[in-house]
């Protein structure tokens, strides 16, 4: 057995033991590059794949190899040749930047036909338990658009990778099927296209443009909430494409059933496909993401620095990137290796942000926004059901999260009696127990409250 066959045999067995998503992320473009006596060298495409293999998969790789070839006693991992030039970052290096020619970030141009940004790929999308399902679904869609999960509906909080995943899927479809017409569009932009087309009496153009699409990707669909005309047009576009087995991919910050003012027929269309949510990344994945991003930027930070960021920023990958960017800029300016002390002081504004503290005002604001209402609607005495329920949610959260007194809660909500507050708290507590939907809404609202979105 030559080394290539040997590695194929290993991969075949590994594939049976780990999830498809993990397999695709960590074993793509790996190979054995040499076998010398008992020592085998395995190459990985980048530094985080290498580390991941070393730390998480070494045991199983070794076991399989050893079974296939008893001579093998030791495994080593290295970073293989990259398309971007061979770049190796030794672990504890003091030199933090490579020569400028390699420092430049490749420039990414948004494709004017598809609206896709080539910087979003599956290769640079880190997979962990929190996004394994949507990743696997998106990957499957990219191999067989229109026929596996249609529509694919991905939801999750802000900054957790929805846009990245959707765009990566689009880019992959373009790569796999050159003839397919892919179009990415944020729902807000879709809405303004509808409005402009109606105004200029160009609806026919609009419709015929969307009829020609093979894969339609709509980002942040929650923006269609309450916009009936746009929803109607979207419904027509959706049906037209769906009937012809064209792929539709949608993202939202919440599941279809909790998008306010979404017409029933759209909701049931969304629920007819695959719904996959992106949760919150665990610590290990957060570190892996930081490593991946550092690698992309050709910077190397000490382990304790990355661990510090990952321990303190937990709910938003965009914020993780923001923190890393700040360190990179500092590094660039001072050209000094970074230590933990400096890191802490550089990041103190990001990590200890006073706006993160939850206040009654913030609860009002977040709940109003969640239900697409104005804050003042929550303070009235209107008995309209669309106000009553969100208002009770506000009272519930004031009690539950801030331990406010009932008289205080009553006053905060436009001078209501404390018994109203007690009633609201009890009612929502009960509702959470018996209604999955209520529980889900509260958890999404809390995410926004603490995640500062
Ligand atoms: P969302 O659309 O959910 O608000 P984005 O897709 O814009 O979030 O992600 C925010 C940032 O975090 C982007 O720069 C994206 O590349 C990065 N990011 C998110 N998820 C991942 C991931 N799993 N691996 C690598 N980078 C990620
Ligand atoms: Mg987004």
**Tens-digit pLDDT profile for residues 105-164:** 456 788 999 999 999 999 999 999 999 999 999 999 999 999 889 999 999 999 999 999
The CATH fold assigned to 355-450 is Chromosomal Replication Initiator Protein Dnaa; Chain: A; (1.10.1750)
Task: Tell how far the Cα of 35 is from the centroid of ligand 1, in angstroms.
Answer: 38
In the chain, the percentage of residues whose pLDDT exceeds 90 is 58
Question: Using CA positions, which residue lies closest to atom 1 of ligand 1?
Answer: 159
The bound ligand whose nearest atom lies closest to the alpha carbon of 160 is 1
Give residue 95's pLDDT band: very low, low, confident or very high (50, 70, 90): very low
For the CA of 165, the closest atom of ligand 1 is 6
Give residue 84's pLDDT band: very low, low, confident or very high (50, 70, 90): very low
Nearest-10 Cα torsion for 400, 406, 411, 417: 130
Backbone φ and ψ of 200, nearest 5°: -90, 10
Cβ-based burial of 351 (10 A; exposed 0-12, middle 13-18, buried ≥19): middle
Residue 437, pLDDT score: 84
Residue 92, pLDDT score: 35
The CATH fold assigned to 298-351 is Helicase, Ruva Protein; domain 3 (1.10.8)
The bound ligand whose nearest atom lies closest to the alpha carbon of 165 is 1
Least confident stretch, 20-29, 92-101, 298-307:
92-101
Task: Tell how far the Cα of 185 is from the centroid of ligand 2, in angstroms.
Answer: 11
> Which is more confident, 13 or 277?
277
- Terminal Cα-to-Cα distance of the chain (whole angstroms): 55
User: What are the residue ranges of helices labelled H in 244-339?
Assistant: 264-271, 283-296, 303-312, 317-334
Task: Tell how far the Cα of 159 is from the centroid of ligand 2, in angstroms.
Answer: 7
* Average pLDDT value for the chain: 87
Q: Long-range contacts of range 96-101, CB-CB < 8 Å, 24 or more positions apart?
A: 96/299, 96/300, 96/301, 96/331, 96/335, 96/336, 96/337, 96/338, 97/298, 97/299, 97/331, 97/332, 97/335, 98/298
Question: Using CA positions, which residue lies closest to atom 18 of ligand 1?
Answer: 161
Containing H/E element for 174? helix 162-176
DSSP state at residue 256:
G
Could you check whether 298-351 and 355-450 share the same CATH topology? no
Question: Using CA positions, which residue lies closest to atom 14 of ligand 1?
Answer: 318
Q: Ligand 1: list residues with CB < 6 Å.
A: 124-126, 131, 156, 158-164, 289, 292, 317-318, 321
Give residue 20's pLDDT band: very low, low, confident or very high (50, 70, 90): low
Q: Are 222 and 252 in contact (CB under 8 A)?
A: yes
Sign of CA dihedral 283, 284, 288, 291: positive
CATH 3.40.50.300 fits 132-278, yes or no: yes
Q: Is 74 helix (H, G, I), strand (E, B) or coil?
A: strand
Residue 24, pLDDT score: 73
Q: Are 215 and 150 in contact (CB under 8 A)?
A: no
| Pick from 342, 124, 166: nearest CA to 250 | 166
| Pick from 163, 173, 181: nearest CA to 142 | 173
Q: Are 315 and 280 in contact (CB under 8 A)?
A: yes
Containing H/E element for 219? strand 215-219
**Which residues, in sequence order, are bridge partners of residue 74?**
39
Cα–Cα distance for residue pair 213/248, rounded to 1 Å: 10
Question: Using CA positions, which residue lies closest to atom 9 of ligand 1?
Answer: 161
Question: Using CA positions, which residue lies closest to atom 23 of ligand 1?
Answer: 126
For the CA of 285, the closest atom of ligand 1 is 23
Taking phi over 0 as left and psi of -120 to 50 as alpha, with beta for the rest, 301 belongs to beta
The bound ligand whose nearest atom lies closest to the alpha carbon of 158 is 1
- Ion ligand 2 neighbours (CB, 5 A) are 162-163
For the CA of 219, the closest atom of ligand 1 is 2
**Tens-digit pLDDT profile for residues 153-212:** 999 999 999 999 999 999 999 999 999 999 999 999 999 999 999 999 999 999 999 999
Residue 29, pLDDT score: 85
Cα–Cα distance for residue pair 343/337, rounded to 1 Å: 11
**Tens-digit pLDDT profile for residues 300-310:** 899 999 999 99
**Tens-digit pLDDT profile for residues 390-412:** 999 999 999 999 989 999 999 99
Task: Tell how far the Cα of 292 is from the centroid of ligand 2, in angstroms.
Answer: 20
**Which residues, in sequence order, are bridge partners of residue 40?**
35, 75
Question: Using CA positions, which residue lies closest to atom 19 of ligand 1?
Answer: 161
Domain segments of the chain: what residues?
3-79, 132-278, 298-351, 355-450
The bound ligand whose nearest atom lies closest to the alpha carbon of 138 is 1
Cα–Cα distance for residue pair 68/57, rounded to 1 Å: 17
For the CA of 124, the closest atom of ligand 1 is 25
Residue 26, pLDDT score: 80
| Pick from 243, 449, 239: nearest CA to 362 | 449
The architecture CATH gives domain 3-79: 2-Layer Sandwich (3.30)
According to DSSP, the β-strands at 39-44 and 31-36 are antiparallel
């Amino acid at each position: 057995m030559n080394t290539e066959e040997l590695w194929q045999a290993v991969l075949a067995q590994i594939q049976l033991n780990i999830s498809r998503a993990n397999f695709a992320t960590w074993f793509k473009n790996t190979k054995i590059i040499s076998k010398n006596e008992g020592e085998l060298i395995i190459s990985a495409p980048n530094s985080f794949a290498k580390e991941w293999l070393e730390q998480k998969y070494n045991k199983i790789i070794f076991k399989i190899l050893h079974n296939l070839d008893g001579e093998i006693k030791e495994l080593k991992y290295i970073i293989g040749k990259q398309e971007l030039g061979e770049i190796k970052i030794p672990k504890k290096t003091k030199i933090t930047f490579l020569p400028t020619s390699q420092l430049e970030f490749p420039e990414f141009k948004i494709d004017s036909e598809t609206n896709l940004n080539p910087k979003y790929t599956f290769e640079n999308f880190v997979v962990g338990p929190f996004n394994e399902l949507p990743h696997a679904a998106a990957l499957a869609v990219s191999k067989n658009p229109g026929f596996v999960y249609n529509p694919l509906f991905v939801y999750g909080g802000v900054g957790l990778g929805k846009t990245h995943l959707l765009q990566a899927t689009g880019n992959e479809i373009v790569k796999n099927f050159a003839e397919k017409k892919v179009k990415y569009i944020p729902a807000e932009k879709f809405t303004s296209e509808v409005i402009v087309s109606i105004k200029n009496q160009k609806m026919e153009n609009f419709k015929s443009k969307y009829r020609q699409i093979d894969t339609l990707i709509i980002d942040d669909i929650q923006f269609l909430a309450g916009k009936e005309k746009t929803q109607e047009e979207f419904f027509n576009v959706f049906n037209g494409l769906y009937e012809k087995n064209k792929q539709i991919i949608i993202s939202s910050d919440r599941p279809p059933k909790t998008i306010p003012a979404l017409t029933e027929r759209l909701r049931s269309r969304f629920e007819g496909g695959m719904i996959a949510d992106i949760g919150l990344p665990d610590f290990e994945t957060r570190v892996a993401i930081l490593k991946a991003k550092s690698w992309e930027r050709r910077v190397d930070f000490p382990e304790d620095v990355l661990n510090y960021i990952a321990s303190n920023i937990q709910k938003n990958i965009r914020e993780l990137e923001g923190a890393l960017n700040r360190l990179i800029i500092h590094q660039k300016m001072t050209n000094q290796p970074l230590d933990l002390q400096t890191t802490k002081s550089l990041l103190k504004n990001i990590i200890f942000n006073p706006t993160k503290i939850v206040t009654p005002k913030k609860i009002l604001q977040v709940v109003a926004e969640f239900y697409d209402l104005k804050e003042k609607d929550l303070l009235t005495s209107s008995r309209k059901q669309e106000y009553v329920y969100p208002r009770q949610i506000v009272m519930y959260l004031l009690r539950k999260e801030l331990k406010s007194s009932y008289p205080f809660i009553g006053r905060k909500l436009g001078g209501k009696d404390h018994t109203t507050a007690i009633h609201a708290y009890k009612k929502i507590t009960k509702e959470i127990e018996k209604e999955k939907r209520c529980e889900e809404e509260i958890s999404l609202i809390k995410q926004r409250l603490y995640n500062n979105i």
